Amino acid sequence: MFTGIINDLGEVIEVLEKDEELRRMTVGCGYNPESIDIGASIACSGICLTVVDRGRAGNRASFSVDTAAETLRATTAGNWRRGTKLNLERALRLGDELGGHMVSGHVDGVAELTARENLPDMARLTLRVPAGLARFIAPKGSVALDGVSLTVNEVEADTFSVLIIPHTLKVTTLASLSPGARLNLEVDQMARYTARLLETVPR
C-alpha cells in the first residue's frame, strides 16, 4: 500500500527487452540502495512494481523492475524510455504517517490531460477519463495521478479538474505536463468498493 505522497523523483536509465511480454527497467533514484530489499514494492508513477535488483549507476543508486505485458498495455509504462522521469514512493510501513490517501498502485486506466491553466504559483489540470471510470470520481474525492494523491476539484461528464499546489509542482513530474499527456489513474478505493457493493444489492 502507498499514500500518494511522492518521496523521490526517479529516471529510467535502462530498458531491456527480456522477451515479447516482459521488459526490465532500471531506475536511477536518490534512495540508499542498501535500504531497498529485493522483492520490495515501489510505486513508479503510480504503478506498484517489484524490485528484482538494486545497485548503483554512476554516482546514483538504482533499482530494477520487471514490467509484464498487461502492465505495458494498461498503463503508461509501455512508453517509458531512457530519460523518462518517474514519481517514486516506497511502500507504506506500519506506523508511517498517512498523508495522502490509501493507494494500491493498481492502475485503473490512463487519463488524458486536456487543458492546463497556469495560475499564480499553481496549476489547474483538466483530464478526461476512460469510459466507465467517471462514475468513481466525485468533487472533493481523491484520485492518484501518476502516483500523486490529489483532491478532485470539479467534475463534468467524463472530465475532472485538480489544482496542483507549488510544493507538488516542485517535487513531482506534474510541473512538466502539457495537454495531450497521458497519466496513470487510480480511483479512490472506497468509491470502487462502494460501487461494487451497490451492484450486488438485490433489487
Which residues participate in catalysis according to the annotation? 2, 41, 48, 50, 68, 106, 151
Would you give the distance in Å from CA 43 to the centre of its chain?
Answer: 7
Which pairing describes strands 22-29 and 122-128: parallel, antiparallel, or unpaired? unpaired
The 10 Å Cβ neighbour count of residue 65 is 21
| Alpha-carbon separation of residue 177 from 98, 164, 165 (angstroms) | 26, 11, 14
> Which three cell numbers mark 178?
502539457
Query: Per DSSP, what are the bridge partners of residue 15?
Result: 25
Which pairing describes strands 8-19 and 85-90: parallel, antiparallel, or unpaired? antiparallel
Q: Which residue has the cell 543508486?
A: 61
* Nearest CA-CA partner of 136 in 193, 192, 199: 192
Query: CB–CB of 87/186 below 8 Å?
Result: no
> Which three cell numbers mark 43?
510505486
In the chain, the amino acid numbered 114 is: T
* Nearest CA-CA partner of 86 in 127, 144, 126, 28: 28
